[in-house]
Chains A and B, each alone.
Chain A
Amino acid sequence: MKPLDWTTGHEAILYQACASCRKVQYFRRGFCAACGSTELTEKRASGKGTVYTTSIVTRAATPETRAHVPYNIVLVDTEEGFRMMAHGAGDLAIGDPVSARFTQFAGRLVPYFEKVA
């Protein structure tokens, strides 16, 4: 069964929490990558986190993505404890506290982080 999150066009960021070892993981799979347990709970993330790093893309590779340049690719450390890749506002700096909304990119829904005051 496919997740009902942004990867399938739904306005949500989901992750999995392991009941056995308490680790969390972002890339969805049928088991915990840390301990192998299948006792996973799917949870919805708050969308809050901290910017780990950023890179503004000015040279895109496809006609669909080229229409959007420049766009900022960010890695965000979420408050739930997993790291995720997303888009972000052009002014984001490493360490900024951020919050996610969603936007359209190359015909897909993608998470988009902005700085919170």
Chain B
Amino acid sequence: MSYITGVGLTSYGKHEGLTSLDLMSKAAELAIADAGLKRVEIDGILCSYSTVSLHIMLATVFAEHFGIRPAYAHAVQVGGATGLAMSMLAHHLVEAGVVKHVLVVGGENRLTGQSRDASIVALAQVGHPDYEVPLGPTIPAYYGLVASRYMHEYGVTEEDLAEFAVLMRTHALKHPGAQFHEPITVADVMASKPVASPLKLLDCCPVSDGGAAFVVSCAPTNQARVKIRGCAQAHTHQHATAAPALSELGAEISIAKAKQASGLSIADVRYAAVYDSFTITLAMLLEDLGLAKRGEAAARVRSGDFSRDGEMPLNTHGGLLSYGHCGVGGAMAHLVETHLQMTGRAGNRQVRDASVALLHGDGGVLSSHVSMFLERV
């Protein structure tokens, strides 16, 4: 058994003058307070990497800075899937009795701590150093390659993809912490600057500063009763060149294993939190996970199914596309929002029923996947 007992999230956008450690500390403080715990009760720390503050022992650096002497601590690196991978590890550590309360934390001053070019260059290193990087691909280009192929095989259009950007923006408008506060339309997305075809600026998540944290515990510590029911991973490749066919990507493998581990099915899911680095990422993952039929995810957006009052509310905070993307913390915000929804604390974003949630993260170029089911008990 493991429970998510507390969550913490900063606003995303510009945090001028704050370091990665500052942002991690802010989020950690919030999460520990939310769990009703004291720093001294935290006996495990899992943290992400920071592309701004590279360090070979970031978890220990953070522990010292924050003032904790944990029994277990290290950093985890799975790109965008890191947040859920850390949650999965925390779940197993707690279940195995290694520690009682694991603090999972990520944060980066990725927007103000380095130039946007530096950020793009750092991230392009997910490409192969000899066979890909010399060709000048960017992360949007890797996903542009995926998008072109997906559109070709399943008849998805650029207007279809634009729907996801609009949906995430609509959701972000209700969250004061989101990076973007101006509404957008499909026409705005279509007219935005081309980045890597078929992806345009508004198909891409921004670069942000921010931090997110949560506490995974062996037993509830307060009113929140959010249990990790089951989770699983899949890793099929690292580089776009070595990716399998679209029908053999890791999301389908990890969701099948997570269903088995949790004993739950898609029909049980009431709230979805799905990785959305680009509009194509969200469209594909929804279909890979079985939250929409193949090629029909955009139609479900248009019919309102993924809206707050819809059948399957999705990323009600605005996701990476509009809440923001500060590296590993980016997708951790999905879990924080899920927790608020499951505990009835999402205010004007609150959905009717978030008793069972499905979370999914992706790292690299659809390389690493983590699927996780949460249940309110």
Contacts and interface: CB of A to CB of B under 8 A. Distances in A.
Interface stretch (A16-24, A34-42, A56-64): A56-64
User: Secondary structure at chain A's binding surface: helix, strand, loop or mixed?
Assistant: strand
Interface in B168-210: 193-199
A59 B136 contact: no
Interface string A67-99: 010010101000000011111000000100000
Contacts of A87: 135
B156 to A, nearest CB: 13
A27 interface: yes
A57 B138 contact: yes
A105 B124 contact: no
B137 to A, nearest CB: 5
B346 interface: no
A101 B193 CA distance: 31
Contacts, number: 104
Interface in B119-163: 120-121, 124, 128, 130-132, 134-138, 140-142, 144-149, 152
B145 A75 contact: yes
Size category of the binding interface on chain B:
20 to 34
B242 interface: yes
Nearest to A59: B195
B145 A73 contact: yes
A26 interface: yes
B114 interface: no
Contacts of A27: 128, 130-131, 239, 241-242
Given A86-B135, A110-B134, A59 B193 contact: yes
B149 A94 contact: yes
Contact of B136 (A26, A94, A105): A105
- The residue among B142, B147, B197 with the most chain A CB atoms within 10 A of its own CB is B197
B241 A106 contact: no
A55 B141 contact: yes
B131 A7 contact: yes
Interface residues of A, number: 30
A54 B193 contact: no
B241 A83 contact: yes
A68 B138 CA distance: 14
Given A27-B128, A61-B120, A61-B124, A55 B148 contact: yes
Contact of A57 (B131, B196, B240, B242): B196
B222 to A, nearest CB: 45
Contact of B121 (A26, A53, A61, A105): A61
A10 B357 CA distance: 53
A76 to B, nearest CB: 10
Interface in A1-49: 7, 26-28
B16 interface: no
A102 interface: no
B300 to A, nearest CB: 25
Interface in B85-139: 117, 120-121, 124, 128, 130-132, 134-138
A53 B242 CA distance: 13
B145 A54 contact: yes
10 contacts: A26-B241, A27-B128, A27-B131, A27-B239, A53-B148, A55-B145, A57-B141, A61-B138, A73-B136, A106-B134
